[in-house]
Amino acid sequence: MTIAARQFEGLRPQAIKTAYARLSKYYDVLFGPLLRPARLAAVKRVNALPGTEVLEVGVGTGLALPHYSAGKRIVGIDMSADMLAKARLRAARLPNVRAVLEMDAQATNFADGQFDIAVAMFVASVVPDPRALLAEMRRVVKPGGSVLFVNHFAGETGVPEWWRRATEAVSRRVGWRADFRMRDIFKAGDLAGSSVVPMPPLGLFDLVELRN
Ligand SMILES: C[S@@+](CC[C@H](N)C(=O)[O-])C[C@H]1O[C@@H](n2cnc3c(N)ncnc32)[C@H](O)[C@@H]1O
């Protein structure tokens, strides 16, 4: 287990599944509108990238799925069966969604280089080992492809008190880490040649795009 992973002890897979089983009923109402601008901006970027094969990790209830362009072929994975049940209802109406699968994003069954693009929206600060997530996304994306994250990243000076308070209850319920930092997932050098773009609302989220 990496140093970053040790910091996330407590967010065990079973705890995540239990949390999201409860949350799946309300997720779209609670987190649909709040995260929508950053979610749509990430999908817009995916649509603009070359390549057709897209992996969305932590697809949740599938809120992003209707927004991919027809030319992209999407596979969505998540470890919560309850969130996926909702995603499957959405996917049934979307011919460009190839599959929605129950899988741990840190250790998938996909072949090396199977995808052109992998994207994780609001997932990196939930998984037990964010660096394992990054390594797995890099493995399944072909060389030259793209790996994207949308997440809240705390600044190097720490978390503003107002943000900590605002997210405390939510963080406990959804397994989010309000104090999740870039260095919890990226090692020195990972961000070379990448772009980091602040996202609405209020630049609370960043879209990080890595060339594989
Ligand atoms: C905050 S939700 C984000 C859902 C969706 N991406 C969105 O834009 O609303 C985090 C999702 O990550 C999933 N997740 C957490 N850890 C995971 C893992 N190791 N592998 C796959 N999915 C995971 C959760 O089940 C949940 O559906």
Tens digit of each residue's pLDDT (9 = 90 or more) over 18-31: 889 999 999 999 88
- Among protein residues, the one with the nearest Cα to ligand 1's atom 25 is 80
Note the pTM of the prediction, 2 decimals: 0.92
Ligand 1 centroid–CA 123 distance in Å is 5
Mutation choice for ligand 1 from 78, 137, 152, CB with most ligand atoms inside 8 A? 78
Q: Residues lining ligand 1, judged by CB closer than 6 Å?
A: 16, 20, 31, 35, 39, 57-60, 63-64, 77-80, 83, 104-106, 121-123, 126-127, 174
Give the pLDDT of residue 157: 59
pLDDT exceeds cutoff 90 at 2: no
Ligand 1 centroid–CA 25 distance in Å is 14
- Give the SS3 label for residue 154: strand
Q: Which residue has better confidence, 34 or 185?
A: 185
Please give the CATH superfamily to which domain 3-211 belongs: Vaccinia Virus protein VP39 (3.40.50.150)
Q: Are 186 and 175 within 8 A, CB to CB?
A: no
- pLDDT, tens only, 138-156: 999 999 999 999 998 887 6
Q: Are 16 and 36 within 8 A, CB to CB?
A: no
- Mean pLDDT value across residues 1-6: 43
Give the pLDDT of residue 161: 67
- Mean pLDDT value across residues 54-61: 98
pLDDT exceeds cutoff 50 at 123: yes
- Among protein residues, the one with the nearest Cα to ligand 1's atom 10 is 123
- Mean pLDDT value across residues 149-171: 73
**For residues 197 and 173, what is the distance between their CA atoms, to the nearest angstrom?**
27
Whole-angstrom CA distances from 206 to 17, 55, 110, 188, 195 are 26, 19, 27, 18, 10
